Amino acid sequence: MYNSKITGLGFYVPEQVVTNEDLSKKMDTSDAWIRERTGIESRRHVVPGEDTTTSMGVKAARIAIERAGIDKDEIDFIVFATLSPDYYFPGPGVLVQRDLGLRTVGALDVRNQCSGFVYAVSVADQYIKSGMYRNVLVIGSELHSKGLDMTTRGRGVSVIFGDGAGAAILSRETDPKKGILSTHLHSEGQHAEELAVTAPGMGKRWVTDILADADPEDTSFYPYMNGQFVFKNAVVRFSEVIREGLAANGLETADIDMLIPHQANLRISQFIQQKFGLSDEQVYNNIMRYGNTTAASIPIALTEAWEAGRIREGDLVVLAAFGSGFTWGSAIIRW
């Protein structure tokens, strides 16, 4: 049995910076209001026509492939995590296969929103551990800006999210003490509607109904979030799944060299940091600059931390996420 190891990382964010002041010109909000509630100062939004969820993922993937020191034809499988695919179907995994000019390898889409990258890493890890694949490309990419209610009505959600993509190459590792030691995944569907976009949906209303209604007040296309409820659940589940991962490997909080939490809200990350007694050097946050990029947030932050030299060989790195579904998960990695 093999382990999987992250051998290459890359990320891409659009050039267009959208500050809190920029948003205050579109809705009744302010820089102080947004910072106090989320810690966000700016985020990136695509320029219409210049980027898509897939194209951002491809740009991040090219960097990860180069850094892994492999040829693209050595990739055996693709796992693409997103809540904002280019099309309702097919998913972006096959578009990446096409746009990178890869062999006819399999492509799998993961729809676990904020927990998407951790879920995708877990899937890739199992494929490699079983011996089925040697190199798996894992991508988290999101284009939120085209689907947000940029009015005062939607400010509670729209100020939070940004666009971007991150990618990782997971490769076969023969040393059982290196690489991804374990992953831990959970869900609680009873709270599914507390953080959701319910349209178009095939259960209650389909495209024909929506087009027939043509209702400009229809908010079902926009994200809904019960903010306080999500926050309370997030801090509990983050803590649980981190402790679960550490315990599974006989580790303690003091063994953590770097925690990369999903960048949902700076207040959540700070709460977790304080609860675990971690220093600023042991936690990496970049939500201040990019906002919440959902499935892309962990790979973007992980890549930045690695580029800054804050992750070194032998370090214990913990990835943890919580989001819509509710879903949550962690990955324990020996770098």
Our answer to whether residue 191 is catalytic in this structure is no
- 3, 20, 114, 144: which is the annotated catalytic residue? 114
Across the strands, what pairs with 196?
224
Give catalytic status of residue 286 as yes or no.
no
SS3 of 275-316: the string is HHCCCHHHECCCHHHHCECHHHHHHHHHHHHHHCCCCCCCCE
Q: What is the rounded distance in angstroms from the CA atom of residue 70 to the CA atom of residue 67?
A: 8
Alpha-carbon gap, residue 57 to 36, rounded angstroms:
31
Rounded to an integer, what distance in angstroms lies between the CA atom of residue 234 and that of residue 231?
A: 5
Q: Which of 20, 285, 286, 292 is catalytic?
A: 292
Q: Annotated catalytic residue: which of 112, 262, 265, 286?
A: 262
Q: Which residues are catalytically annotated?
A: 114, 262, 292
